[in-house]
Amino acid sequence: MTRLEQLISRGRSPLGPPVSVDLGAGLYGELATLLAHTNGFTVFNAGVQLFHLGERGLGPELRNWNADQTWRHAYGSLTDGLFFFAQDLFGVQFAIEDNSRVCTFDPETGEREVFGGSLEDWADWLLADPDERGAYSFATHWQDTHGALDHDQRLLPRTLFVLGGSYDDDNLVAEDAVTCMLVRGPIASQIHDLPDGATIRFDAG
């Protein structure tokens, strides 16, 4: 089994009915092949969610999620060149960058971290540390304590992590995934280029 097959075998799928789609060559082509095989899935007890394609299905839909009017507009140019295909429990996005690299996108800062050049690399990266990179233990703890998350929900910190918020239950709330991104987008746009340790002041007006 490939690492991607191993990842899928550990999850729950599909999230949508069978699809056949042409997304072009490169990494987009890899994604199309994956969706034709498994149209969306969750893994690590919903710690990671791969979006389904098509109107019918559970959780965010791939094309709608990437539409500017859904949430990307809140981040301005920070999402340029990215196509988002999955997210973790806290809304960290997994994206294809310029159809040649796979990266994470931090919803609180807009920072990117490239970690591979294929979806196989993405699966290998997740499987190397499911708890840290896939939020496995925390997803299990949260749902054992608070009940199952809806497919459209992610966890939003009341005080953002980048502003010193903790990963304690008291600082987290389950919210609609789009709302989670819209809340953090304007903040990420303000602090993206600030140096570490800079004083942050938000305009309440």
| DSSP assignment of 178-189 | HHHHHHHHHHHH
At residue 25, what is the residue type? A
* pLDDT for the residue 192: 85
Give the pTM: 0.94
For 12-44, give one letter per residue: b (16+ CB within 10 A) or e: ebbbbeebeeebeeebbebbbebbeebbbbbbb
H-run or E-run covering 144? helix 136-146
pLDDT of 63-120, one tens digit each? Answer: 999 999 999 999 999 999 999 999 999 999 999 999 999 999 999 999 999 999 999 9
For 108-124, give one letter per residue: b (16+ CB within 10 A) or e: bbbebeeeeebbbbbbb
pLDDT of 113-130, one tens digit each? Answer: 999 999 999 999 999 999
Hunting for tokens 């903790």 — which residue is that?
166
> Does residue 140 surpass a pLDDT of 80?
yes
Cα separation of 197 and 204, whole Å?
Answer: 21
Q: Parse the chain into domains and list their residue ranges.
A: 3-191
* pLDDT for the residue 194: 72
* pLDDT for the residue 204: 46
pLDDT of 178-204, one tens digit each? Answer: 999 999 999 999 998 776 666 656 554
> Does residue 205 surpass a pLDDT of 50?
no
